Amino acid sequence: MTDDTPLDEFFDAIQQLGQPVLTAEELARVLDCSQEEADRRLSELAEAGTVGRRDVERDPVVWYPVEWDRHARRERVVTFPNRRELVVSHPEQFTRARLSTFAYLVDSNGTSDSIYRIREEDVWGAPYDDLADLLVALRRVTGGRYEGLEEWIERQWKRARQFTLRTHEDGYTVLAADSESLMGNVARQALGEEQLHAPISDTESWVREGSEGEIKRLLYDEGYPVRDARELDTGDPLEIDLALELRDYQQEWVDRFAERKAGVLVGPPGSGKTVAGMGAMAAVGGETLVLVPSRELASQWRESLLENTSLGPDEVGEYHGGTKEIRPVTIATYQTAGMERHRRLFDERRWGLIVYDEAHHIPAPIFRQSADLQSKHRLGLSATPVRESDDEAEIFTLIGPPIGTDWSALFEAGYVMEPDVEIRYVPWASEAAESEYDGALGHERRQVAASNPAKLDEIRHLLEEHEGEKTLLFVDWLEQGKEYAEALDVPFLSGETRYAKRERLLSEFRHGARDVLLVSRVGDEGIDLPAATVAIVASGLGGSRRQGSQRAGRTMRPVGGAQVYMLATRGTEEEEFVRDQLRHLQGKGVNVIEADAETA
């Protein structure tokens, strides 16, 4: 360990040992020096504040990094191949973007350090055409080759390609395995008469019609994703011409979908997934069923189709609680489509394409019936395919593999503006407010922290700082929204707002007649909020990762600088909630910083 690079060699040593802490004895062994010399150098690093020490029972002292490269503030990637983890200090945009394609963000301290883990499902769903491309991406991040890790990745890559559904020349579906052992010991053990008619050969089985989705789910549970290479039904023909030009990346999405015939477009809000969906409709050229979570989105889809395609009003229908029209292009809500009494009408139509908007709804039990339409082209649209039940893998199992997961390319090209996301920690407004929190329990406790009166002062400060900019202010609690609306003299859009007033407020905000709009959780999804340059999240930090991404995503438009503020009461559960809520965005390469409130 030389005098000019002590910290570098310390990190080299813990990487060589494959553990995040070390003892003086271990360091001495790695550096081939005396334990006394190693202890002296570690003490120097501790005095400099870059290494910490702790007494433990196994050894008198262990040493660990206090903050990775706190002084140099340059990127460092430390790989632990046996645990398939990477600790990344001060990750650059390129590194965050690459990691998002094959690794899962486990934790981030919000300032400089992030822990990524490579899981089986990350390799199975990695958006690369071949294994070599994936390994190149890995090596660019780690800066080297790790044979054991790469061998494990190769095994997982091959594992995801050992079962295939294909169409037999006589028209029925066949499940094919790469070996007799896989078919006999895996498929035929996991699947029964409800899914398979009979063996065709030692590596092939005849699939019962309509059981394809169940086969994919069951084999995925066994650790074997199934490739769907069937010749899917194009449905009754329907010619659709686009009245707009697709961006290059949107055309690439459409081309990849046309080749695969099934998949989920995973792109940041504002990237034009709906437009790409219309491009996919034109590419398939068949009658289309579009499934959405709300009747408001159904109406918006219809308007977009009439405005941006050659389809006429008599060719586009809505089917939900308010309207029931079956047309060549029908837009239905998930809930209505999943009801047995309506299913017959949908089954009678020869759809060529099923579009699942906000595709993260698919695994929910009430919506899963709509995923049984496995013989059609299937396209999912979602910025945030994450679910708190951790079953988001089913989205890709039921619909298809992810397409277009590289957010950074869109940020760098200027198509979508990467927002600056800042967590603002707000102190308690008074000792009385803090005492109320300490005495509360469960749901009430979260509401007290969310409604901390000091947040209103910070909001006033932020609105003054961003005066004249289009700003969305989010709250979860109706009473809080009504209080803020009166205190700030801004309109409050909630589930109680009548449809006509809601549309008027959105139109005023969209066209510049109004700069600030206060929105309840009705704005997380289900309505198409106009783009904003500033988003302030005052409450709702106990919500899901998807909710945090949706709210931050309201600023992701090519409109210049965009800023997101997440307000959390210092010393409460909100601190951990907000970090967890933003983990999905961080995993996609969006930078998140932490700061104290300006009014503190």
Where exactly are the structural domains of the chain? 6-155, 163-224, 248-410, 417-596
* pLDDT for 341: 74
Report DSSP state, residue 529: P
* pLDDT for 408: 56
Encoded tokens for 367: 């919506």
* 6-155: CATH number: 1.10.10.10
Q: Which fold has domain 248-410?
A: Rossmann fold (3.40.50)
* Nearest-5° Cα angle at 13, 9 to 14: 125
Burial of 469 (0-12, 13-18, 19+ CB in 10 A): middle
Dist CA 204 CA 529 (whole Å): 49
pLDDT per residue, tens digit, the chain (600 aa), is 444 457 777 878 877 776 667 888 888 888 888 888 888 888 888 887 778 776 654 445 766 666 544 444 577 888 999 999 998 887 776 787 778 788 888 776 555 678 899 999 889 888 787 899 999 999 989 988 999 999 999 999 999 999 999 999 999 999 999 999 999 999 999 999 999 999 999 999 999 988 888 898 899 889 899 988 888 888 889 999 999 999 888 898 899 898 888 888 877 666 788 999 999 999 999 999 999 988 878 888 999 999 999 999 999 999 987 788 899 999 998 888 777 777 777 777 888 999 999 887 665 554 555 555 777 899 988 865 443 334 456 677 778 888 865 555 555 555 555 667 888 899 998 888 888 888 888 778 888 888 899 999 999 999 999 998 888 898 888 888 999 999 999 999 887 888 778 878 888 888 888 999 998 865 444 445 556 788 888 886 544 444 444 544 444 444 445 788 889 999 888 888 887 767 666 666 567 788 888 776
Stated length of the chain: 600
Stretch (H or E) spanning 496:
none
The 3-state DSSP class for residue 559 equals coil
Nearest to residue 322, comparing CAs of 314, 331, 313, 310?
331
Residue 336 region by backbone torsions, left for phi larger than 0, else alpha for psi between -120 and 50, else beta: alpha
What Rg, from alpha-carbon coordinates, does the chain have? 27
Are the C-beta atoms of 73 and 80 separated by less than 8 Å?
no
Q: Which fold has domain 417-596?
A: Rossmann fold (3.40.50)
Same fold, 6-155 and 417-596: no
Describe the strand order of the beta sheet including 204-207 as a list of residue ranges: 196-201, 204-207, 173-177, 163-167, 226-228
* pLDDT for 368: 54
Dist CA 382 CA 405 (whole Å): 10
Strand partners, 537: 474, 566
Q: Tell me the HSE value of 546 on the side-chain side, using a 13 A CA sphere.
A: 19
Nearest to residue 491, comparing CAs of 462, 513, 461?
513
Encoded tokens for 508: 């005023």
Report DSSP state, residue 321: S
Residue 126 region by backbone torsions, left for phi larger than 0, else alpha for psi between -120 and 50, else beta: beta
Residues 6+ apart with CB under 8 A from 127: 101, 401, 402, 403, 404, 405, 406
* pLDDT for 372: 57
Dist CA 46 CA 38 (whole Å): 12
Nearest to residue 538, comparing CAs of 506, 565, 504, 573?
565
3-state secondary structure 82-111: CCCEEEEECCCHHHHHHHCCCCEEEEECCC
Q: How many CB atoms lie within 10 A of CB 139?
A: 13
* pLDDT for 501: 85
* pLDDT for 431: 87
Residues 6+ apart with CB under 8 A from 358: 292, 293, 297, 381, 382, 525
